[in-house]
Chains A and B, each alone.
Chain A
């Protein structure tokens, strides 16, 4: 086997995956009420196409926008629309949301689910289905998938990468999909490759998931898709890193992966693509890994979009300790939430309830220039310098001399820093500072 060249830097945090690694996905019963934001994605928010008082069915379109960079939103269960208003959200701080009170019947919209022979569909039809199904990047990027999946010929895409690295500690959703829904996922890979019109497909899985590697290899035998075990190192799942390791290409600064002929998509996303194309099911649920030392029973749960974090945690036995933080996503790149009332949106891969002890957060000290952050940065930046410039609010210098705009906010630098400096926080602060002064901001 060819020895893979790894990327520079990176860190090895404790992966904490064993809490839920071997727990099969459990379907969570539909909650009494779902709060579905119309903006769960990058781009224009959906415009509600239902009114308060309307009866809706599971899978029915409830918000839509005519522009290209947007995503549709669907009812995740059947019931009555009881409110349309601004609610706190786990994606962006708040969003207009459609609140549905469940009727307990969980009845599908007419004709769903259906069965399509995807191989007989043409490329345009696939694009349209993905667009109509409201699929976005479920690895946390929230980028509308119909855009990515239709890059095909005009962007000269030649390689499709299925990102199964799942390098964030605690999270196991992608892993469970790979081992439990292998066939569906493999079909999704083929659909994506057809949609992009590419011959070369690579599945990248971190080598701490040998079962997933085995299952996927088995399922894709006899195809042009290569399944590769990549070294376990954070942030292996970051697009730039995975593409470098698998396709041996670097995305030039300021460009996207599609500019170098590669499209990478994450496991849950492609699984949803397959469900949409084959069964006509829009994105109304997703796998969420619920874990952290404050949760009674960590597990992988299939959750309807719009279910509150609180309901999900209660389904997992509730809290046994007082958490200091409730995190949306993984501990390296997730977002701490101010409230447990926020709904699960499409991009929520994990809900972690962690106590102060588990967070191991020390008081911030002065930088001792130990260089660990420099060693750890996968991009090759000097994070210590960025943090110091952040303290002084010097954006221009950070951009011109220290390349701040290349930072992918992976958190490797903050993770290793013995002085416990919140480097990423300084970096975000500097970026925002610029945003506020920029002409685009109003």
Chain B
């Protein structure tokens, strides 16, 4: 028989129900997102080599260290190791060129944590995705370094140091096909990740698998990535280079940072709308702006800016789109 506890001596604590909670925690969610990104990041390291690895490691260490320092200085609870700063560092590194000088990467990472996250009040308070702010800051500070890509060989042994979207913007679609040796070769390269670009954005298949893992774990809603990618697909197809319905949606959907952006950044819960309907509006908007920048803008790629712009609209979307309250008309 187990020991008897004397009821009179027991100190009871009182609080508000519910007294049972689901097992998920913020930290568990963050580590799962990191896990989902890992395959594509590892692919980047294998494909682009040591510089990619150094950038990833530097970016993560800088982010975690910056968070630790800020929290020490602000004398608040240390959450630097909850996976969220790690995620910011990892995401930032995955969205920059492997050729980026590591000290610049570190600066971007610190900016992301200190300015984009903690100056807004810390996790949950930031309006913009910190990794995106870090990337945008680097883009403004070192535009050349940010657009200097690795030199890779395409399937037809063409040597290139431009991204597919870059080739499209500067040289046109037929040149793009030529570089990769035809449409199916181009698609294959994009699907498998054998193309130039940022460290972690190239391998479509691994990113999608990681994204599906998050959908399965109910961490993200499938609606955001699907709607955003579909919006880009439709718009780039309709507004093609040779007139209506002449675009190449398959290429556009896999190119640039769309896949990683749609699955891992537009779904950033802190900066996206809180309702499912709101998230769909957000995704359509982000897809439209991405397409606009790609087709008409000065930059070859627009995923990062489109999401940042939609982040600004998030509070407004949340104010307008709310669930209907039981027993009321609205």
Contacts and interface: CB of A to CB of B under 8 A. Distances in A.
Q: Do the two shown chains form a genuine complex with each other?
A: yes
Interface in A304-332: 310, 313-314, 318-327, 329, 331-332
A128 interface: no
A361 interface: yes
B84 to A, nearest CB: 8
B54 interface: no
B28 A418 contact: yes
Interface string B17-52: 111111111101100000000000000000000000
A333 interface: yes
Given A365-B26, A418-B22, A380 B12 contact: no
A422 B15 contact: yes
A414 B21 contact: yes
Given A367-B124, A370-B29, A424-B18, A380 B325 contact: yes
B188 interface: no
B10 interface: yes
A315 B107 CA distance: 66
Interface stretch (B66-74, B140-148, B269-277): B269-277
A365 B26 CA distance: 8
B270 A369 contact: yes
Contacts of A252: 327-328
A340 B325 contact: no
A340 B28 CA distance: 36
B26 to A, nearest CB: 5
B325 A403 contact: yes
A174 to B, nearest CB: 19
A1 interface: no
A336 B29 contact: no
Contacts of A416: 22, 24
Interface in B295-330: 318, 322-328
A411 B13 contact: no
A382 interface: yes
B146 to A, nearest CB: 29
B327 A325 contact: no
A425 B16 contact: yes
B20 A359 contact: yes
A296 B2 contact: yes
Given A339-B12, A382-B274, A369 B20 contact: no
B123 interface: yes
A403 B5 CA distance: 45
A326 B5 CA distance: 14
A313 B28 CA distance: 37
B184 interface: no
B216 to A, nearest CB: 16
Chain A interface category by residue count: 35 or more
A418 B274 contact: no
Contacts of B7: 310, 313-314, 318-319, 340
A338 B10 contact: no
Given A337-B14, A366-B123, A367-B124, A374 B20 contact: no
B269 A371 contact: yes
B2 A327 contact: no
Given A313-B7, A418-B26, A332 B18 contact: yes
B124 A337 contact: no
A109 interface: no
Given A313-B7, A322-B5, A370-B269, A415 B125 contact: no
B322 A411 contact: no
A338 B14 contact: yes
A253 B328 CA distance: 6
Nearest to B278: A371
A368 B124 contact: yes
Contacts of B171: none
B10 A322 contact: yes
A11 B328 CA distance: 22
B326 A336 contact: no
Nearest to A401: B319
B102 interface: no
A420 B323 contact: no
B5 A318 contact: yes
B18 A368 contact: no
B174 to A, nearest CB: 45
Contacts of B181: none
Nearest to A253: B327
A360 B21 contact: yes
Contacts of B4: 318-320
A340 B12 contact: yes
A357 to B, nearest CB: 12
A250 B275 CA distance: 22
Contacts of A13: 18, 20, 22
A250 B327 contact: yes
Given A253-B328, A322-B10, A384-B274, A362 B123 contact: no
Contacts of A244: 326
Interface string A42-72: 0000000000000000000000000000000
A380 B21 contact: no
A401 to B, nearest CB: 8
Interface in A373-423: 374-375, 377-382, 384, 403, 406, 411, 414-420, 422
A381 B26 contact: no
Given A366-B124, A424-B18, A403 B328 contact: yes
A231 interface: no
Given A253-B325, A336-B19, A406-B328, A418 B13 contact: no
Interface of B: 2-5, 7-8, 10, 12-26, 28-29, 77, 79, 122-125, 269-272, 274-276, 318, 322-328
Nearest 5 interchain pairs by C-beta? A411-B18, A380-B323, A319-B5, A366-B124, A425-B16
10 contacts: A253-B325, A296-B2, A321-B5, A325-B15, A332-B17, A340-B12, A368-B270, A371-B275, A406-B327, A420-B25
Given A352-B19, A366-B123, A380-B322, 18 more contacts: A250-B327, A252-B328, A253-B325, A253-B327, A319-B10, A320-B3, A325-B13, A326-B12, A331-B17, A359-B20, A369-B274, A371-B275, A374-B274, A378-B326, A406-B327, A414-B18, A422-B15, A428-B16
